Chain A
Amino acid sequence: MSTHPDSYIKPELMACCGAREIRDRDIVIVGTGFPTMSANIARHTHAPGARMMQESGVFDAQPARPALSVGDPCLNPGAAMIGGLIEVMGMFLQGGWVDVGFLAGSQVDKYGNINTTVIGDYANPKSRLPGSGGANPIGALAKRVLIIALHNARTLAERVDFITTPGYLDGPGARERWGLRENTGPQVIITNKAIMRFDRESKEAYLESYHPGSSVEEVTRLTPWKLMVSKEVRETEPPRAEELRVLREVLDPLGMIKIYEKRGYV
């Protein structure tokens, strides 16, 4: 097998991109889907000391199959600790112990703010979405936040309709003004087309790399704000053989990750 096999699907690439953001011994708060897979790929490759928790109250679960929700029955047997929201969201997250949070958004803007509350006007919404759940506190209190999003003009926005979860709010210094810890906030937006990071000064997302098959031109065209492009822009490294082996053989032998293709991650 070559070091970078040719055949993979976009959600696999995105899961691997997420995995590369995880450092050894990180404490990671995860939801379902990509985040769980990313964190697990990392744990089976370069970050054996990383440990995961779910907001519902679980630390270091040993699920026999990919969890379908943060309350999934498979998270119970084998976990190292089970409490509830006060333990995970309170003692661990608000207590300052969580290194990485993974979030997805119906709408994500250039400052990494996320909307999962409402599309359109709050009082008379075009579409009413689920709400914050754990997203707002994860965005506020995890040291590093990784965002997963679809790359289109519906999901990405210059300014979200409603800030459910704080990214850099309205720019430099805003998080600190609201009492959030310094040097925290979103690190990266991983889309089905590209990887965007945040400029140190302006706090705006810029293009770091476009995925194989895409291009700077396509990514800037699909981004509804004037996207800055890194001087060192390059193609995203495709999934490594070892990452794919872990994903397909250990974590997701039934190929459940394929459902994300149906959700537009192509």
Chain B
Amino acid sequence: MDKVMSTADAVGKFIGDGDFVFMGGYICRPPFAAIHEIIRQKKRDLTITRSNAADDFDMLIGAGCVKRFISTFISLGLYGLARCYRRSIEKGIPHKIEIEEYTNLSLPLMLMAGALGMPFVPVKDMAGTDLMNVSSFMGDGKYKMIESPFDRSPVMLAPALRPDVAIIHVQQADGEGNAQMWGIGGDCKWGANAAHRVIVSCERIVSRETIGKDPSRTIVPAFKVVAVTEEPFGAHPGYTPGFYDVDMSFGYLYQQASGTVEGFQAFLDEWVYGIKDRAGYTQHYIQKFGYAQFRKLQAKFDYGYPVSYAY
């Protein structure tokens, strides 16, 4: 079954107000095309999660789409603290989001537990720190300390997470949704597999036959996928290994813009609300910064031996 559709259709059909959404990425492959579309469609009251959030999560928070955030970390990387996030927490602009805090070990394990159908997972971090002393919407369901039934040592259990929907951006997928990724993974594979339905955004749609030439790279199988969207340059200003580099100067532009409410609004007007889709975004980028700058971000090729699965 062919599931290829526009990002606008995928977001409109499969993300509802109030949904719990996992969004993959780790500086590499943030699904920005879909994130801009969520902002354009004015989705509200979302619960969002992933380990190490960045500008994409900051933007959703600033745009008022988020009610709750299961977090481990959020910053603008080299450009410091996340501005919209801070305004939300410190000043309630546009509103104060609720945060539940874990770590880059426990959250991926909780997603893994969700993917594996386990009710909870023992984690060996967080114990003894103030992360145990703060909770919000998960209340005393944030974690449980137990005595191990095997050796009586103290063990922390964290609940499994099952997002309603996951959105990931990968290098390639076929029309049915078999999604292939390479390079730094973050918690992308587990977050996607923990979700009830998956939207796959990709740099290029390939044939089922191409997928079969290197099936070990598939991180999500077609049967979990509800929509496939082809979005070249879809992770910009993040990067996609083998396709384009991280755009540091755009990161700086976002930091500067998001420093004030007015600047952030102007940024959204220019790069999200004033633009129809990712093709329009790319066109606007080239018009504004020049083709040479766009070209400079494109990856060089560096192939190894092609793999063979033949017997």
Contact = CB atoms under 8 A, between A and B. Distances in A.
B187 to A, nearest CB: 5
B108 A86 contact: yes
A226 B131 CA distance: 28
A92 to B, nearest CB: 11
B184 A84 contact: yes
B interface bracket (residues with beta carbon within 8 Å of A): 35 or more
Interface of A: 55-58, 68-69, 71-73, 75-77, 82-87, 89-90, 93-94, 113, 117, 122, 125, 127-137, 140-141, 162-166, 169, 174-175, 177-180
Nearest to B30: A71
Interface of B: 26-28, 51-52, 71-75, 77-78, 81-82, 85-86, 89-90, 101-106, 108-109, 112, 123-131, 134, 153-155, 182-190, 239, 241, 245-246, 248, 302
Given A56-B186, A71-B186, A137-B106, A130 B127 contact: no
B186 A57 contact: yes
25 contacts: A56-B27, A71-B28, A71-B184, A73-B28, A75-B184, A76-B184, A84-B26, A84-B186, A84-B188, A125-B90, A127-B86, A128-B85, A130-B74, A131-B74, A131-B101, A132-B73, A133-B51, A134-B105, A137-B104, A140-B128, A141-B125, A166-B129, A178-B127, A178-B154, A179-B124
Task: Identify whether the interface residues of A are mostly helix, strand, loop, or mixed.
Answer: loop
Given A130-B81, A178-B128, A57 B103 contact: no
B262 to A, nearest CB: 21
A185 B231 CA distance: 46
B253 to A, nearest CB: 17
Contacts, number: 168
A117 B51 CA distance: 15
A252 to B, nearest CB: 16
Nearest to B155: A179
A90 B85 contact: no
A69 B75 CA distance: 11
B81 A165 contact: no
Nearest to A128: B89
B27 A71 contact: yes
Nearest to B219: A84
Nearest to B77: A69
A8 to B, nearest CB: 24
